[in-house]
Amino acid sequence: MISRDMVGVLYNSQRADAKDLAWKIVSDLNLGDDTLVYGVEELEKIDTNDWVGKVDLFITVGGDGTILRASHMAARNGVAILGVNLGQLGFLTELRAEEAMEKIPGYLDGEVWIEERNMIEARVVTADPGATQIVHEALNEVAIGRREVAGLSMIGVTVDDEPLTTYRADAVIVSTATGSTGYALSAGGPILHPQSEDILITPVAPHLDKSWALVLPKSARVEVSFLSQQPGALAIDGFIDVPIGYGDTVKIVKGESVARFMRGNPPSHYYADLVRKLGLDPWEM
């Protein structure tokens, strides 16, 4: 059971309907005048000391993008997420907007289980030995490629200190099982079960015949080196953009944090949910 005093509500501030539904949740569920209610981008600017220890659950109103942003703050502070979908596919969300008001009370009263999903950590190592190395966490993926949209990049990949290959591609994606249904899926990668701890490498539009994806164990240490002279970028979960340059290396390992999601359906429901969100007919021959 989650105390209503320990619930915060985050919403996609780019959508008026998300803000409206967020405040309706607060009002109709009697969450209280002191409830933490913010656009998810706004919460990123607030000192975590203002809410850590005061929130056990974030209800997010938006889509997967809203959850991805919330997860970066929630995971490292042990806060679970219950996602309400106003987006399109909503692979990470739990409830549709039209059923949220009816079903959220049951989730708060304990008729649930907590699903944990692995994250990865990415550290940029530059040619400047004095540069500060910042560790970035990702729930979905990190992608390394050229900053400009057009043009191939030279991207070298090693695994556990052993050279794998050098891609000529738009980008290389390193993702979690959660991220296998995101950018990596659009690049032709496989779908991993969300409980998998494996790490996935998927090239984006590679030149010639290097179009295969590679599934690695959770212990793998992946290094991706940017080998093009043009400016490059490290994109993290689609909303963090880190400039990189020639010779910079991104070191990626399984993260220490886990994202926690409140679920009402049994784990086996994942398959039916996946088929529905992908628009597939399970009985089609």
Q: List per-residue pLDDT tens for the chain, 285 residues long.
A: 788 889 999 999 999 999 999 999 999 998 877 899 999 999 888 888 889 999 999 999 999 999 999 999 999 999 999 999 997 888 999 999 999 999 999 999 987 999 999 999 999 998 777 777 889 999 999 999 988 766 789 999 999 999 999 999 999 999 999 999 999 999 999 999 999 999 999 999 998 777 899 999 999 999 999 999 999 999 999 999 999 999 999 999 999 999 999 999 888 888 888 888 887 766 654
Q: What is the pLDDT of residue 207?
A: 84
- The CATH topology of domain 119-256 is Tumour Suppressor Smad4 (2.60.200)
Catalytic residues: 64
Q: What is the pLDDT of residue 196?
A: 96
Q: What is the pLDDT of residue 107?
A: 94
Q: What is the pLDDT of residue 283?
A: 63
Domain map (residue ranges) of the chain: 4-112+264-278, 119-256
Instruction: DSSP for the chain, please give it.
Output: ---GGGEEEEE-TT-HHHHHHHHHHHHHTT--TT--EEEHHHHTTS-GGGTTTT-SEEEEEE-HHHHHHHHHHHHTTT-EEEEEE-SSS-SS--EEHHHHHHHHHHHHTT--EEEEEEEEEEEEE-S-TTSPP-EEEESSEEEEEESSSSS-EEEEEEETTEEEEEEEESEEEEE-TGGGGTHHHHTTPPPPPTT---EEEEEES-STT----EEE-TT--EEEEE--SS-EEEEETTTEEEEE-TT-EEEEEEEEEEEEEEE-S-TTHHHHHHHHHHT--TT--
CATH 3.40.50.10330 fits 4-112+264-278, yes or no: yes
